[in-house]
């Protein structure tokens, strides 16, 4: 969807100040550290520790974990909101494991922009690349943060060149690093003509910022040693010749990414990055539904479920459905229309994951993410409105590419296993098929690692050991068509038929040839590799 050019003048102020985004990165690049610093600047966590030793980062992390425990929910696994300057940031977390997961993709349907974090020594890594491609499919604007500049890192031009070549996106430097590794002293903020100096002694302090009047300002020489200053002048001149200048339109269309250099662990460059998202946006964007486009400024509330998380609180079996508000001004207690079931539902206890004080969400605006605790009524892809029948599009369902048979470690616990699997199917963590003949379940996923994640969640959340064994089937197709033809088809292919968690009919096979044959023999039937999410 084309992004808007600027903060639309028609947006109410509360909506215009919202920035809903995700962080994409390869494991270990510094996403957690950067998130912590965002929360620190957002006033969400206070750090008491005065000792600035190596252990500090760990302590910070455990503060954060403690916060998670106190809340009884996994903050980092979901969405967090915090204020910084005039903006309200909604940070939606992308799951951390390194396999491609549907969850990640769906998460990215709920945001308007992404921050790509790369390690200055490693450049663009595999997971970054995959996630970047997903962002590109949606033309999401991307801000890049090149982290760990306090360590030996690659040459600045090399890094920029690699991003341009590898990801086919234009890169413009928002800041320029001065020195490298042990000699790294800070950055020249190109967008604001400022010198930002890093304070190595205090990892949680906002860096010192010195206003500069262009590159000839004598103040530069007071703070930057001569050899680094000379290098900075040369490099900036070269950058000006070789790299495109910042262009807002191009950024919003996803063609150009501004890059900031910094060190998350030293809190360096983080503030500039946050100001970058704040200033350049984008604010909440229009969302697509099958019927029409939904504008954030519309008065009536609409939203869609992009994620369902079960067992957030081990004491309850409740689920939380994460809803991205697409339009309007939601208020707690509001009655909304659940389009799929055509029923009204009163949203009495919505949770807004305001990082500073976990409160019930009294209100929410377009762009916000609210959590709605429920017993399973809300599914991924569901729409909530004030009465209109809308079907949001763009929330994908993936064809399961790997099928395995799930078996309970203890055969007496088969019923429990069924419950656990159905739960995960509803969360969208896997596809679960119950064969028409025989026992057991066939589980379909997109990436092999998802089996490990499922097994460990079933074990920890349901105390149920589970094995995933090779299945005789390799492909699944959803079958639709005229009722009598479907019945005739099912009767003739019993050994290949299964039902998904909604009771819909699925044809399982290992041969493309079978699928082709059926399409020939049953021309009125449709065999689909994916199913709409509702």
Instruction: Output the smallest distance, CB 453 to ligand G4P, in A.
Output: 16
Instruction: Output the smallest distance, CB 24 to ligand G4P, in A.
Output: 10
Tokens 């063609």, residue located:
255
H or E element: which one contains 404?
Answer: strand 402-408
Q: In the set 8, 18, 19, 31, which binds ligand G4P (CB under 6 A)? A: 31
Pairing assessment for the beta strands 142-147 and 113-119 based on DSSP bridges: parallel
Q: Of the two residues 182 and 520, which places its CB atom closer to ligand G4P in the complex? A: 182
Q: Of the two residues 28 and 237, which places its CB atom closer to ligand G4P in the complex? A: 28
Instruction: Output the smallest distance, CB 200 to ligand G4P, in A.
Output: 11
Known binding residue 96? Answer is: yes
Known binding residue 27? Answer is: yes
Known binding residue 342? Answer is: no
Q: Of the two residues 160 and 270, which places its CB atom closer to ligand G4P in the complex? A: 270
Vertex 227 angle, CA 225 and 228, to 5°: 65
The interface region with ligand G4P, picked from 26-34, 82-90, 370-378, 405-413 by CB under 6 A, is 26-34
Name 483's bridge partners. Answer: none
For 26-64, the DSSP string reads -TTSSHHHHHHHHHHHTTS--------STHHHHHHHHHH
Indicate the DSSP class of residue 284: P
The interface region with ligand G4P, picked from 181-189, 257-265, 346-354, 493-501 by CB under 6 A, is 257-265
Q: In the set 24, 29, 417, 443, which binds ligand G4P (CB under 6 A)? A: 29
**The pair of three-digit structure tokens given for residue 42, joined into one six-digit string:** 């957002």
Instruction: Output the smallest distance, CB 138 to ligand G4P, in A.
Output: 22
Q: Of the two residues 25 and 101, which places its CB atom closer to ligand G4P in the complex? A: 25
Known binding residue 238? Answer is: no
Name the residue among 499, 497, 398 with its Cα closest to residue 445.
398
Decide: is 518 part of the binding site for ligand G4P (CB under 6 A).
Answer: no
Q: End-to-end alpha-carbon separation of the chain, Å?
A: 22
Is 284 within 8 Å of 301 (Cβ atoms)? no
**The pair of three-digit structure tokens given for residue 515, joined into one six-digit string:** 């699928």
Residues 115-174 that bind ligand G4P (CB under 6 A): 147-148, 150-151
Decide: is 177 part of the binding site for ligand G4P (CB under 6 A).
Answer: no
Peptide bond into 282 cis (omega under 30): yes
Decide: is 28 part of the binding site for ligand G4P (CB under 6 A).
Answer: yes
Name the residue among 491, 487, 477 with its Cα closest to residue 519.
477
Residues 456-485 that bind ligand G4P (CB under 6 A): none
Binding residues with ligand G4P: total (CB under 6 A): 18
Known binding residue 316? Answer is: no
Q: In the set 8, 16, 19, 30, which binds ligand G4P (CB under 6 A)? A: 30
What is the rounded distance in angstroms from the CA atom of residue 145 to the CA atom of residue 268? 11
Known binding residue 249? Answer is: no
Known binding residue 26? Answer is: yes
Known binding residue 147? Answer is: yes
Q: Of the two residues 186 and 281, which places its CB atom closer to ligand G4P in the complex? A: 186
Decide: is 33 part of the binding site for ligand G4P (CB under 6 A).
Answer: yes
Known binding residue 72? Answer is: no
String of contacts with ligand G4P for each residue 36-75, x by CB under 6 A: ---------------------xx-----------------
Decide: is 207 part of the binding site for ligand G4P (CB under 6 A).
Answer: no
User: How far is C-alpha 7 from the chain's CA centre?
Assistant: 23
Residues 260-289 that bind ligand G4P (CB under 6 A): 263-266
Decide: is 25 part of the binding site for ligand G4P (CB under 6 A).
Answer: yes
CB burial string 476-494: b at 16+ within 10 A, e below = bbbbebeeeebeebeeebe
Known binding residue 107? Answer is: no
Q: Of the two residues 96 and 495, which places its CB atom closer to ligand G4P in the complex? A: 96
Is 284 within 8 Å of 296 (Cβ atoms)? yes
- The conformational region for residue 224 under phi > 0 = left, psi -120 to 50 = alpha, else beta, is beta
Q: Of the two residues 206 and 243, which places its CB atom closer to ligand G4P in the complex? A: 206
Q: How far is CA 58 from CA 43, 153, 206, 207, 433, in A?
A: 19, 23, 19, 21, 43
Name 467's bridge partners. Answer: 407
Known binding residue 148? Answer is: yes
Decide: is 196 part of the binding site for ligand G4P (CB under 6 A).
Answer: no
What is the rounded distance in angstroms from the CA atom of residue 436 to the CA atom of residue 479? 14
Is 514 exposed, middle or buried, given 0-12, 13-18 or 19+ CB atoms closer than 10 A? middle
Q: Of the two residues 96 and 409, which places its CB atom closer to ligand G4P in the complex? A: 96
The interface region with ligand G4P, picked from 31-39, 134-142, 383-391, 479-487 by CB under 6 A, is 31-39
Positive or negative: CA dihedral 468, 77, 283, 358: positive
Contacts within 8 Å (CB) and 24+ apart, 487-490: 488/522, 489/518, 489/522, 489/525, 490/436
Q: Of the two residues 266 and 334, which places its CB atom closer to ligand G4P in the complex? A: 266
Q: Of the two residues 132 and 365, which places its CB atom closer to ligand G4P in the complex? A: 132
Known binding residue 29? Answer is: yes
Q: Of the two residues 31 and 319, which places its CB atom closer to ligand G4P in the complex? A: 31
Instruction: Output the smallest distance, CB 173 to ligand G4P, in A.
Output: 18
Residues 329-348 that bind ligand G4P (CB under 6 A): none
Name the residue among 430, 421, 299, 324 with its Cα closest to residue 382.
324
Contact set with ligand G4P (CB under 6 A): 25, 27-33, 57-58, 147-148, 150-151, 263-266
Binding residues for GTP: 25-32, 93-97, 147-150
Please state the residue numbers annotated as binding site: 25-32, 93-97, 147-150
């Amino acid at each position: 969807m084309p992004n808007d050019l600027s903060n639309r003048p028609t947006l109410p102020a509360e909506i215009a100040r919202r920035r809903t985004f995700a962080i994409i990165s390869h494991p270990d690049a510094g996403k957690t550290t950067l998130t912590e610093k965002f929360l620190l600047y957002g006033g969400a966590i206070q750090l008491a520790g005065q000792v600035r030793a190596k252990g500090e980062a760990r302590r910070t992390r455990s503060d954060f974990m403690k916060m998670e425990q106190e809340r009884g929910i996994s903050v980092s696994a979901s969405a967090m909101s915090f204020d910084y300057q005039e903006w309200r940031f909604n940070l939606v977390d992308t799951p951390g494991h390194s396999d491609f997961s549907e969850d990640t993709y769906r998460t990215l349907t709920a945001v308007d922009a992404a921050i790509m974090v790369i390690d200055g020594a490693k450049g663009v890594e595999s997971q970054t690349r995959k996630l970047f491609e997903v962002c590109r499919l949606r033309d999401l604007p991307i801000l890049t943060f090149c982290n760990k500049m306090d360590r030996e890192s690659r040459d600045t031009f090399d890094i920029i060149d690699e991003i341009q070549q590898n990801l086919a996106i234009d890169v413009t430097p928002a800041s320029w690093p001065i020195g490298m590794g042990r000699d790294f002293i800070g950055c020249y903020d190109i967008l604001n003509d400022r010198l930002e100096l890093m304070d190595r002694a205090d990892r949680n302090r906002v860096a010192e910022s010195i206003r500069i009047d262009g590159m000839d300002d004598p103040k530069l020489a007071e703070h930057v040693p001569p050899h680094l200053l000379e290098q900075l002048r040369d490099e900036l001149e070269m950058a000006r010749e070789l790299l495109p200048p910042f262009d807002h339109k191009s950024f919003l269309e996803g063609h150009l990414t501004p890059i900031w250099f910094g060190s998350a662990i030293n809190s360096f460059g983080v503030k500039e990055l946050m100001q970058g998202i704040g200033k350049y946006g984008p604010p909440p964007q229009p969302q697509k539904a099958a019927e029409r486009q939904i504008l954030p400024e519309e008065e009536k509330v609409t939203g869609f479920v992009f994620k369902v998380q079960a067992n957030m609180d081990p004491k309850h079996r409740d689920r939380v459905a994460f809803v991205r508000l697409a339009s309007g001004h939601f208020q707690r207690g509001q009655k909304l229309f659940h389009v799929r079931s055509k029923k009204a539902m009163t949203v009495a206890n919505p949770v807004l994951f305001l990082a500073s004080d976990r409160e019930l969400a009294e209100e929410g605006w377009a762009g916000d993410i609210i959590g709605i605790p429920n017993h399973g009524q809300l599914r991924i892809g569901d729409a909530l409105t004030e009465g209109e029948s809308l079907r949001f599009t763009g929330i994908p369902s993936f064809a399961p590419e790997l099928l395995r048979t799930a078996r309970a470690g203890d055969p007496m616990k088969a019923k429990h296993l069924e419950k656990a699997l159905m739960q995960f199917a509803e969360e969208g963590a896997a596809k679960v098929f119950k064969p028409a003949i025989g026992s057991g379940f066939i589980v379909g996923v997109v990436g092999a690692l998802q089996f490990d994640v499922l097994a460990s969640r079933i074990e920890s959340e349901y105390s149920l050991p589970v094995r995933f064994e090779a299945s005789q089937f390799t492909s699944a197709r959803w079958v639709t068509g005229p009722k009598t033809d479907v019945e005739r088809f099912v009767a003739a292919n019993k050994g290949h038929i299964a039902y998904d968690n909604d009771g819909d009919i699925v044809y399982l096979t290992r041969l493309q040839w079978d699928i082709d044959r059926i399409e020939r023999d049953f021309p009125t039937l449709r065999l689909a590799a994916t199913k709409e999410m509702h």
